[in-house]
């Protein structure tokens, strides 16, 4: 069946300005880290993307190594884009990244000019695009001069292969230096993508304040801590769960009794708010409007519905914030 986008798709979604740029991002963005590679049926991926766009999710986030196998998420997304979304390309924000291992040898990893520009060229071919909206350096490189990496990001914008550039996984001190270099080059950093959730709060130690000071937007990945901030693990580890499968991204050992106990207490607050734990966890990341967008993964369309449904109740009372902090700090 030929896809026709929902004409009411922009009515339920919030759009937040990304730092001091002219770009707005949806409060909920869809990451293609899992469930879009060759191990997932193409039609499943297609239905997720269609449903997301019908809900007003305009931002699809990829990287060169997403799959598995690496590259397959971009290839599959490119096919679905060509078959379903070409009429709406200009309504989409499509991002990709390079910084983790993509191919063998010394030029397929980290942050050299050689790697970043080659990787983006490959990504554009896989997706069938002339440009991406955002191109990120995926992680800081301890050996390549920061100036070289930032000049490569500036170069791809000047080539017309990316409209904006961003950073991911950069600590505050390294990010500050990168922002200054990009500003001097004339290609200011649009956005930073850190890992952030109730269970991982390192960004609060200077990064969120830096982003606000510098006028850089932010998009949080893993806001549900790999599923730990859902009702999935409240009563043990299900046999069909990611943790039970031996995933390197979420091991059974990482689901500690302490975290489960906290999740159960958080779930009680969520129920009092009339929400699922996952919805409250997303709303918490967006609190105070310091984070531009939350980046979610999905294997079922119902998960997208839940995420967008959170927006009708995403604000917290001072009492709720105090109670949540007490649980997270282990004082309640």
248-293 pLDDT, tens digit each: 556 556 778 899 999 999 999 999 999 999 999 999 999 989 999 9
Q: Judge whether 136 lies within some domain.
A: yes
Mean pLDDT of 155-175: 98
Mean pLDDT of 156-168: 98
Contact at 8 Å (CB) between 241 and 251?
no
pLDDT value at residue 235: 80
Predicted confidence (pLDDT) at residue 17 exceeds the cutoff of 70: yes
Contact at 8 Å (CB) between 214 and 188?
no
Predicted confidence (pLDDT) at residue 244 exceeds the cutoff of 60: no
Give the Å distances, CA to CA, from 319 to 84, 269, 323, 325, 326. Answer: 46, 11, 6, 10, 11
Q: How many CA atoms lie within 13 A of 21 on its CB side?
A: 22
Q: Judge whether 95 lies within some domain.
A: yes
Structural domains in the chain (count): 1
pLDDT value at residue 215: 98
Q: Report the run of H or E that residue 265 belongs to, with start and end.
A: helix 257-272
Tens digits of residue pLDDT in 283-300: 999 998 999 999 999 999
Percentage of the chain lying above the pLDDT 90 cut: 90
Mean pLDDT of 105-114: 98
Q: Judge whether 317 lies within some domain.
A: no
Q: Residue 167's Cα: distance from chain center in Å?
A: 12
Tell me the pTM: 0.95
> For 35-49, 100-114, 199-213, 233-247, which range has the lowest pLDDT when averaged over its residues?
233-247
Mean pLDDT of 92-104: 98
Q: Judge whether 7 lies within some domain.
A: no
- 77 Cβ neighbours under 8 A, 6+ residues apart: 32, 36, 45, 49, 60, 62, 127
pLDDT band with cut points at 50, 70 and 90 for residue 5: very high
Q: Judge whether 57 lies within some domain.
A: yes
The parent domain of residue 212 ranges over: 15-226+288-299
Higher pLDDT, 1 or 157: 157
Give the Å distances, CA to CA, from 218 to 1, 20, 29, 79, 164. Answer: 36, 11, 12, 28, 13
Q: Judge whether 325 lies within some domain.
A: no
Predicted confidence (pLDDT) at residue 158 exceeds the cutoff of 80: yes
Predicted confidence (pLDDT) at residue 246 exceeds the cutoff of 70: no
Q: Judge whether 240 lies within some domain.
A: no
Q: Judge whether 65 lies within some domain.
A: yes
CATH at residue 143: 3.20.20.100
Predicted confidence (pLDDT) at residue 241 exceeds the cutoff of 90: no
pLDDT value at residue 185: 98
The C-alpha atoms of residue 211 and residue 22 are separated, in whole angstroms, by 16
pLDDT value at residue 272: 98
pLDDT value at residue 1: 82
pLDDT band with cut points at 50, 70 and 90 for residue 85: very high
């Amino acid at each position: 069946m030929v896809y026709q986008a929902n004409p009411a798709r922009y009515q339920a979604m919030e759009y937040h300005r990304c730092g001091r740029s002219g770009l707005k991002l949806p409060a909920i963005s869809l990451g293609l880290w899992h469930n879009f590679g060759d191990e997932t049926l193409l039609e499943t991926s297609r239905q997720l993307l269609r449903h997301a766009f019908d809900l007003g999710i305009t931002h699809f986030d990829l990287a060169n190594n997403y799959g598995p196998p690496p590259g397959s998420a971009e290839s599959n997304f490119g096919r679905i884009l060509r078959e379903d979304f070409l009429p709406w390309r200009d309504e989409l924000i499509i991002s990709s990244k390079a910084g983790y291992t993509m191919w063998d040898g010394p030029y397929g990893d980290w942050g050299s000019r050689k790697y970043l520009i080659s990787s983006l060229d490959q990504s554009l071919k896989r997706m069938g695009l002339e440009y991406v909206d955002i191109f990120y350096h995926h992680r800081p490189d301890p050996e390549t001069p920061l100036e070289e990496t930032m000049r490569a990001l500036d170069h791809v914008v000047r080539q017309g292969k990316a409209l904006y550039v961003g950073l991911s996984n950069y600590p505050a001190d390294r990010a500050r230096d990168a922002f200054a270099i990009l500003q001097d080059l004339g290609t200011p950093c649009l956005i930073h993508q850190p890992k952030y959730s109730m269970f991982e709060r390192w960004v609060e130690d200077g990064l969120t304040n830096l982003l606000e000071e510098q006028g850089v937007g932010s998009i949080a990945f893993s806001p549900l801590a790999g599923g730990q901030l859902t009702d999935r693990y409240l009563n043990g580890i299900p046999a069909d769960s990611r943790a039970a499968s031996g995933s390197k991204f979420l091991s059974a050992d990482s689901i500690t009794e302490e975290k489960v106990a906290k999740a159960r207490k958080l779930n009680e607050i969520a129920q009092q708010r009339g929400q699922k734990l996952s919805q409250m966890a997303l709303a918490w990341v967006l609190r105070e409007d310091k984070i531009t967008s939350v980046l979610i993964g999905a294997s079922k369309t119902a998960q997208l519905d839940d995420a967008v449904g959170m927006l009708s109740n995403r604000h917290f009372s001072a009492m709720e914030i105090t109670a949540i902090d007490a649980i997270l700090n282990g004082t309640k």
